[in-house]
Chain A
């Protein structure tokens, strides 16, 4: 049977399966007890069902069942803020973007109409919180206790950052691009949330100022009206409500770059080292690690012993997914899943595996992805103080009847 037929057959079988339309209703047992006590599935004003971790500042995870699709709908896309001063849509009336700094020839201010006049780029890319799956760290570490859903994949559209910067005239000595947004610190002494990226990444044509997400305006809580999109890099650089950019010959020195969002030097692979922010011992967390997620069936589901199809997505920092393996027995034996056609190096790549008939009993499903650079998900958690980059395959228990 050809692959297409297998997938079509699996799809038909799935339509009859009761688990298809099911929403996640349970919280993973690995989360801290306190997290399990406060986290709730709720509906937000411009979102559908989301897992609320905290509401001020707002942190909402996407339910796992949503990841049966490559594109995460805007009204299911995760929300993450550091600072409680979230702007309203009205606050964004008359929005503009200033571009300045010591490494441009002139300071300029762009209105939305100016951005619309620039050539448009588009990228299908995963945006993943650096702390996604922190809640599964063992031992637990302090921070927002994300389960799996601190991520999403969308079609981001807008001018390339390099085209936006062109009007200001970038000087040869430019080292970093510093970005800031409209969200405000709650206290006078709280450092404003500002981040920087190296000039090489800023000049990559896939780094864009997104003014549309899945062919619609960005939801307020995902950065309306414009956010920076840095494909392959963790969400911390994807500045929401982007209002100011500075191009500088100096590294940005603040809490968000020098203290937070750092990992031990050499622990995780990167293609483009962020040299201007590196120290001997730590580096900023930048490129995503290879990872995957089973979105169907869900933890605790009853499945047909006549067979069911395991489905999910895999992603990495932009080399692309080369292989996904599935285990039904908690990681003892692995078999190759089928991969769907890649939709771009930064997008989710869907995988599936029909199990065939099974004996009744409990099965511990796991997925394990390998990227085109040959990097495979870690067998053992690489512990780090920030609780970042957890890509250890996680067993999903289901019962075949």
Chain B
């Protein structure tokens, strides 16, 4: 077979595009080893020190811990509330389905800056002091619609006959939910939770409007950007990146193994 440039064009382009996507990630990772002093802009030599002294840089670890706490709580809230809504939307008939769907769609069509300013105005008017709680409220809000969309897809791909079979086989409504519906929705719920956590962890815009004096990791980066970001921030970001990548790869391998195992029929 002769090499055809036309046929190779798409793979070559894709490889280049993916490299382009990864350049800033590589940059961030490489500069986590920079023997920088204050600002981490110019390469001053290789060192492991940043990785061993992550928490020495002021505020890096505190903001990181805050981001984790906020991410976990907001994810739990959004996933619980959103899953219930997704089930209701797919499996039950009710009036005002149109308005409810619209209400869930609107947050996704609202720029973050508007949502952030809106919540901040409300907290201002109501005299609520901004802090962890207000950040969690904001994060739960923008995660909610994404959870509903993700779980909804899973619910509508779930054969209703399975739940009917559960009821037919003497399962009470609670038993049918916990033994059949929930386990079968779990992959969708997990995907929604991971997405929520990722959205929450990386959010800056809404957070900035509603954080008061509390620092999240993105806020720390934003504030430091003006005067130079410590290399320890690169360490945290790189560590999170590789951890997330590992989770995705392991779950992919696991899923494809399982699919392969199930694909082999037994007589």
- Binding partners A and B: no
Using CB atoms and an 8 Å cutoff, list the residues of chain A in contact with chain B: none
